[in-house]
Every structure is written in structure tokens, then in C-alpha cells.
Structure 1
Amino acid sequence: MIKPLSILVLISLVAGLALGAFVQQSGNADFVAAAGVLKAFGDLWLNALRMTVVPLVFSLLVVGVASVSDAAKTGGLVLRAVLLFTLLLVLAAIYAIALTNGVLDFFPVDRESAQALIAGAGASAPEVSAPPTFAEWLAGLAPSNPVGAAADEKMVPLVVFALFFGFAATRLPAHMHGQIVTLFRAVSEAMIVIVHWVLLAGPIGVFCLALGVGVTAGFGAAGTIFHYVAVVTGVLATMTVIGWLIAITFGRQPIGRFTAAITPVWVIALSTQSSLASLPAMITAAREGLRLPERVVDVTLPLAVAVFRFTSPVGNLAVCFFIAHLYGIQPTFLHLVGGVAVAYAMSIGAVGLPGQVSYISSIAPICMALGVPIELLGIFIAVEVIPDLFRTTGNVTGDVAAASILAGGERETMRAEPRSDEASA
């Protein structure tokens, strides 16, 4: 069920654009000046969201690395699951880049509308500098000053440092490791509380930002926003089909059986927009509908909900490349490598966060890694509720598909192991 706050934010977006277009048509200088003041409140709201990104990303990654590392120590099945999740996420990221760019080449945004939306959001095209050489990029992966990297919003070196810090924490004695995880979990929870506070003012913030866009771009901005929804939703919708195909092809599930088992899960995913809330239905579908071994189901599905979001890199990169398309930015190959790495890291770290919280914490770092401005996220967050429906259906489909693949591997492993009577002989 769509939350009332999300509906209010959508209404605020439409109202802000409409009022801004009216002010533009009126040409009244006093109205324009008043709209500029309100636009400043929108910028304040967006900056309040931005201020949580760096501490939230760092703390989430530290806790995420610790949870994955702890899980991997529990046995071969979990380790195989983590490796499979990693493979699927990286392939999904590459797929997202290719598909989004292909769709935008075939269905480009009108340049005048894009420039008007950018100007209305108070953003300007970034200065295009010479891309770094491979040697410069490689040397910059490890930040000489992590605090400086955070201050400059250099996300790739900051993510690298967070990963090293997280893995180093797993090598400490148990009591020290626990203290570090507890500390950064508390930091992430505090940041999430702040984000929740800021999002409560979302209708006001989005209204003020949309008002500024409407004054500059008029109703033409609405077309670009609809274009954004169509592209991102379309790219995300394919992931449900991809997960379905993976289950049938690599999970060796009969088409009819898998479709019948996963359909109730899709219904719950669409109504709750939560993979966690869909977990009981996924377990029932895997055990009873697909007849997967209970050991595999009980281990892999909760782990998948905790550390695996099949659609995360797809949806997040689709947003980033749509924004890059608006600005006319063409990320270099090295930017793409950094963007994929950050997208993978954020898909692990940001799992379990509410939709609008994860929207900012997951997409902003990827934009920064790609050299793409993030000012438009304050506008696009208002319509995230639509693509988010397909994020969840794709996630649950990928979770059950991964469990099907791991179940097949587990059966082969058990057959390959000598029976106890053979071993004693």
C-alpha cells in the first residue's frame, strides 16, 4: 500500500509545478521574488538530506561488511550464496548501464526541457575536465586523507576506505569488533532518524523545489519528469522478467511451477513495497511451491533479504544515467568502473532502509562517483513511489531465483559427498 506521505509528496510536486507555471505566466515581479524565497527553503531541505549522505554511507558499509563477513564464516552454503549474490549484482549493474543508455539513445529527452528543469532546480552543468588517466585513477582509489575525501564528496576512495575499515574490524578480538559494529550501527541509525525528520518535511521541501522549477521551466518540466518515471520504471520492470528467466534457466524450475509459486509473493511485494515484509511469503513459496530443501531456504532467503537487492544497482544506475543524460555528461570507462563498484557496495550496505531513505543514501554516492550532480534528486524523489513498486517485485523474484540456483548446487554437493557408511568402509 502506498504510504500517505508519498501521496502528499506527489501532490506537492504537482502543486509546486502548477503554481510555478502560473507565476511564470503572470510575470509579476513580486510573485517571482516570493517564489525565489520559497525556492531557498527547498534548497535548505535538499541540503539537510545531503548532510547525512557521507556519515550514513560510511557507517552502513562498515556494518554491512561485518554482517557479510560474519555470515560467510558460518559455512559453505552461505559463502556460495554471497558469491552468487555478488555475481548477480555486478551483472545487473552492467546490464543497467547498457539498457538505460540504449533506451535514452532511442528515446532521448528534449534538450530544451532538460535545460529548463536543470535551471529551475538551481543547478548548472558541471565543468567538464580532462578525465583521469588510469595511473591517476588507480592512485586515487586509496584516499591519502579520508576526511578530505569525505569533505570533497569523493565517494569511490571513501567507499574503499570504508571497506578496508570494515574488513580490518573483523580481524579484531570479538569484544572490540562488537564495539565498532555497535558504534557504527548507532551512527547509521541516528542518521536514519535525521533523514526521517527531514522526509517529514518532504511535502514542503518538494513543493518549494518544484515551485522554482515551475517558475523557470513552466509545465515543460512535467514532461521531463514523466520521461524519467517511464525510463526508470521500464528498466526496473525488466528485472522481474530477468529474475524469472534466471530461476527457469539456471534454477531449473518448471515455468508453470515457478510462476504459480512466485505470484502470491508479487502481490505482497506490490502491496507492501518491502522485501522484508515479503519474506514469509517467499519462504512458503520456496518450501511448498518449489519444494526447495528447508536448509537452503532457511539460510539463503533471510540472507538474501539482509544483503542482496537484485534491483538496487539497476534502479540506482538508471537514475544516475538519466540525470547524466539531462546534463549531457558521458562518464568515462574509469568512472563507470567506480560507479559499478559503488553501486555494488551500496546495494549491500543500504539494504533494509525505507524507500525514500535508501533513494538518497544509495543514489547520491553513485552520482558522485560518476561525476554527476545530485541536485535533481530532490525533485525525482517525489515520484520514486512508482519505480519503487518494481524494485520490490524484482528483488523478491531475484531472491527466490537465487535460492533455486543454490538449492541445485546443494543437491549436487550432497551427492558428491561420501555417505557415512562408505566413509567408514
Structure 2
Amino acid sequence: MADHSKPPKHSNSLTYWIAGAIVAAIAVALLFPNVAVHFDIGGELFLRALKMIVVPLVFTSVMCGVLGLGDVRRLGKPGAAAVGYYLCTTVLAVIVGLIVVNVVRPGVGTINKEQLEKFATAEEMPDQVLRRTLAAESGLSEDAVASVFTDLPADNDEAPSTNVILKNLALMLVTDNLFGAAVETQLLPIIVFTICFGALLTTMPDETRTIATFVSEANHALLSFVMALMKIAPIGIFCLVTARFGKAQADGRFFEELGQIGWYFAAVLIGLAIHAFVVLPLIFWIVRRENPFRFAAAMSQALLTAFSTASSSATLPVTLECAESAGIPKRSTEFVIPLGATINMDGTALYEAAAAIFIAQAIGNDLTIGQQAIVAVTATLAAIGAAGIPEAGLVTMLIVLGAVGLPLEYIGLILAVDWLLDRFRTTVNVFGDSVGAAVVGVTIPEDAPSAS
């Protein structure tokens, strides 16, 4: 069996090229917005190329991670550590968001009455606005948007209850059609099936040696494909960012809206910065006693790709490659990061909590401590249930607002700047995934056999 234990070579020059591409893209978009919007085809091609390998890579990487643990009984400790880490960091992110928004109070005295009345008297139902906006921003069809959360209301302004999201979270674990889940990039049921199937294979190592070898070789080939794809990443990322920022500039509404809700925008960024530069690095240092910022620098390609694509699922191949290059045990990256790309949404949870409090402040309905606790719980559950696609947080925001009786129509206050905030919170999500792999890696026995 070939030895693929050596991590792939990590190119710092590529990171500089990607960062330069993002800066150049923003400059072109601001100066020539009508030209910039025509770069969307290049960006879409690059995004599709990344998404194309997500499903097979999730299957092979998770399978390798499970097989690498050897005995199925070894799954318990790292599995519990991964789920526990993701749940704890999501709760911490929500708490950070609530603290920041209560200190900054971005909704107090910043929104004029005319703007509030515009949303209050809108003829369209908020879910219709959401579906159309999300479809336009993410490039998904409205049917695909509806499938992100299957019990979203279609004809009324009632938000789904917490019971609905708990039901959907349970149903998301298993699918009645594995190939259908693959077509729709529903990663969670694929991961559950792969873990169960891989665990079964560990109980019959002699009979399944050929399967293990095939999966290991396929995983190595897919990661090599990712490395080849990243050579054109600066071009693809330039097109992605140019088209999106150019559209915002051409529409002419972004800076006008930002002037109205600039304090909200700043509050969310402050919260994300605290979580990314204080909370997650502190957890990393406590567990591993290593420099967290050196680790963040090693993950820079994945973080820049996350900012560019606004999709943790699309960034998954790059996250796996960077984490392995950063020295995280392969068994941990293969097992933990795909799971994190599906259920770990620290940035999304923080944003949903902050946005709910902002809307409450804007309409003069300060929430009590008890109501804010409900927001915290609901935002945590909604974030876990959000798909790893652009702006899925907007969809699950309905649940958070409905949980404390806030009018759903005022979600329109945050739509104009959400596409940009989505990029920042996705970057935080991806960094949280990589820190999770590093943290959970210490729970995996060093004598565990390698699947490769």
C-alpha cells in the first residue's frame, strides 16, 4: 500500500497571490462596476469546480479517518470530542454576539421611522422576500432555497417553531436516497452513512483490505486534484469577488444602506473578530500549547477561499489540504473537518443572535434576559441546521425571530449588507473547523493504525 502520510507541500506564494487577487478584485469592482459584473462566469466555473469534488472527497476522507482509527471502539472518544467542541464553540459564539450587541446597541436611534414603516407595510410576505433574495444572491433556484429547510412556511408569515428545527435536525442525519443526498450536496447524511459503513469495515479488516486501499488511493488522488485546482485559484477568486462586489456597487444601494445600519455591521464584525482572534486561539493554545496565530497563517489559503466563496462546503477541499499541511494528524482532519463543515457554524450563530437583538432594538422592543436566552438556544440550533451554502443563515433567521415573537418583515433591514457579512462569518466557520481538527486530534491515540 502506498504511503501518503507525508503532508502536501504548502505554498506561501499562493496565499499572497490569492490575497492580491481579492484586493485587486475589490478595486476593479469599485472603479468599474458595470464591467466587474461580467466576471461572474469565471467565478461560477471555479466555484463549481470546487463543489464538484466535495461529495467524493467527503466520502473518502471520512472513510479514511474512520479506518485510520482501527478498532470501531476508538470512534467514541474523538467523535464525542468533535461534537462537544462544535457545540461548545457555537454556544460561546452566541454569547459573544449577545454581549457585543448589548454593549454597542446598534439598533438604538440609528434606523429612521420611514425605513421601519417601509418594511412594516410591505405587501410581500417576508418568506417570499427571503426566498427571492437568497436565490438571487447565491445563484440557487427558489426550489433549492426551499429545500435548505424543508418546513419553511410558503404562504404565511409564521416562523417555524423550535420543534420544527429539532425535527429537521433529526431527519437530516439519515436520507432515504444516498445518491439524491449527493446530488443535493447534503453532507450530513453522507457523513453518517460513511462513519457507519467505515466502522463496519473495521470489524472485518482481512476481508476489506482491498476496499481500504482503494479508498485511501482515491482520497490521495482527490487531494492532488485540489492542489492542482488551487493553482488557478487566484484567477477564480478574482472573478468571484469582482462580480459580487461589482454587483453591489452597480446597484448603488450598499453604501447607502451601510450608512443606516453601519453600527450593526460593526457590531457583528467586532463579535466575529473576538471569536476568531480571542476565543478560538485561546482554546487552541489551552489544548495544544502551540502558537494559534502561526496555525491561522498556515490555514490562510482556506480562510481566503472561504471569504471569496462564502461557502464552507465549497471551501472544504482546501481546508483539508491546509490543515494537513499545518501538521494536524491526518486521521483527525479527515474525520473532523467534513463534520465541522456541516454542523459547525460559529459565525452564523453569532450573526443570528446579534441580528435578532438588533432588530428588537430598532423597533423599540428590548428583549428580557429570558428572551435573549431563548435567542441564544434557538440561534445555536438554527446555525447547526443551516446548510453550508451562501447566506443560508438568512433562511434560519426566521426561526430565531419567531422564537421571541419579533416581526419577520423587519429582516429586510439587514438584507442589503448580509452578503458581505456572510463572507466574514463563513471565514470564522472554516477557522473553527480547522481548530476543531487540531483540538480533537489530541484525543486520537498515537498508535492508531493509518488507513493510508
Same fold (TM over 0.5): yes
The one-letter code of the counterpart of 1:398 is G
Q: 1:327: Cα distance to partner?
A: 1.2
* Equivalent residues of 1:306, 1:351 under 8 A apart: yes
* Equivalent residues of 1:269, 1:275 under 8 A apart: yes
Residues 272 and 165 of structure 1: is their aligned pair in 2 closer, same or farther, counting only changes over 3 Å? closer
Match of residue 235, structure 1, among 260, 264, 271: 271
Instruction: Provide, for residues 299-336 of structure 1, a one-character-per-residue CA deviation record: whole Å limited to 9, x for no partner.
Output: 10011101111211101111111111111212233322
Match of residue 270, structure 1, among 298, 307, 316: 307
The residue that corresponds to 2:439 in the other structure is 405
Residues 346 and 393 of structure 1: is their aligned pair in 2 closer, same or farther, counting only changes over 3 Å? same
Match of residue 120, structure 2, among 110, 119, 122: 122
The residue that corresponds to 1:140 in the other structure is none
Match of residue 153, structure 1, among 146, 155, 158: 158
Residues 166 and 243 of structure 1: is their aligned pair in 2 closer, same or farther, counting only changes over 3 Å? closer
Instruction: Provide, for residues 331-356 of structure 1, a one-character-per-residue CA deviation record: whole Å limited to 9, x for no partner.
Output: 2333223222221221111122322x
The residue that corresponds to 1:322 in the other structure is 358
Equivalent residues in 2 for 1:184-203 (5 A)?
A: none
* Equivalent residues of 2:152, 2:159 under 8 A apart: no
Q: 1:381: Cα distance to partner?
A: 1.3
Task: Tell me the percent identity.
Answer: 24
Residues 181 and 328 of structure 1: is their aligned pair in 2 closer, same or farther, counting only changes over 3 Å? farther
* Equivalent residues of 2:390, 2:422 under 8 A apart: no
Match of residue 261, structure 1, among 298, 301, 312: 298
Tell me whether 92-101 or 377-386 shows the greater mean CA deviation. Answer: 377-386
Match of residue 282, structure 2, among 240, 245, 248: 245
Q: Secondary structure at the match of 2:319?
A: helix
Residues 91 and 178 of structure 1: is their aligned pair in 2 closer, same or farther, counting only changes over 3 Å? same
Residues 121 and 245 of structure 1: is their aligned pair in 2 closer, same or farther, counting only changes over 3 Å? same
Q: Secondary structure at the match of 1:375?
A: helix
The residue that corresponds to 1:308 in the other structure is 344
The residue that corresponds to 2:96 in the other structure is 95
**2-structure distance, mates of 1:169, 1:352:** 13
> Which consecutive unaligned segments of at least 5 residues does structure 2 have?
1-21, 34-65, 67-71, 123-150, 187-246
The one-letter code of the counterpart of 1:410 is I
**1-structure distance, mates of 2:166, 2:182:** 15
TM-score between the two structures when normalised by the length of structure 2: 0.55
Q: Secondary structure at the match of 1:352?
A: coil
Q: 1:297: Cα distance to partner?
A: 0.8
The one-letter code of the counterpart of 1:284 is E
Equivalent residues in 2 for 1:12-411 (5 A)?
A: 75-76=75-76, 77-104=78-105, 109-110=108-109, 113-122=111-120, 153=158, 155=160, 158-164=161-167, 167=170, 178-179=175-176, 223-241=259-277, 242-255=279-292, 257-289=294-326, 291-355=327-391, 358-411=392-445
> Which consecutive unaligned segments of at least 5 residues does structure 1 have?
12-70, 125-145, 171-176, 190-202, 211-218, 420-425
**1-structure distance, mates of 2:298, 2:119:** 45
Structure number with larger C-alpha Rg:
1
Q: 1:121: Cα distance to partner?
A: 2.5
Q: 1:151: Cα distance to partner?
A: 6.6
* Equivalent residues of 1:311, 1:391 under 8 A apart: yes
Instruction: Provide, for residues 386-414 of structure 1, a one-character-per-residue CA deviation record: whole Å limited to 9, x for no partner.
Output: 21221122111111111111011224xx5
Instruction: Provide, for residues 124-178 of structure 1, a one-character-per-residue CA deviation record: whole Å limited to 9, x for no partner.
Output: 9xxxxxxxxxxxxxxxxxxxxx999x977364xx3225525764898xxxxxx64
**2-structure distance, mates of 1:306, 1:313:** 13
**2-structure distance, mates of 1:181, 1:341:** 31
**2-structure distance, mates of 1:404, 1:321:** 33
Residues 345 and 255 of structure 1: is their aligned pair in 2 closer, same or farther, counting only changes over 3 Å? closer
**2-structure distance, mates of 1:319, 1:364:** 11
Instruction: Provide, for residues 269-305 of structure 1, a one-character-per-residue CA deviation record: whole Å limited to 9, x for no partner.
Output: 222222223223322222122x221111101001110
* Equivalent residues of 1:236, 1:314 under 8 A apart: yes
Residues 377 and 250 of structure 1: is their aligned pair in 2 closer, same or farther, counting only changes over 3 Å? same
The one-letter code of the counterpart of 1:326 is A
* Equivalent residues of 1:229, 1:386 under 8 A apart: no
Aligned residues: 297
The one-letter code of the counterpart of 1:81 is A
Residues 184 and 341 of structure 1: is their aligned pair in 2 closer, same or farther, counting only changes over 3 Å? farther
* Equivalent residues of 2:94, 2:353 under 8 A apart: yes
Residues 405 and 180 of structure 1: is their aligned pair in 2 closer, same or farther, counting only changes over 3 Å? same
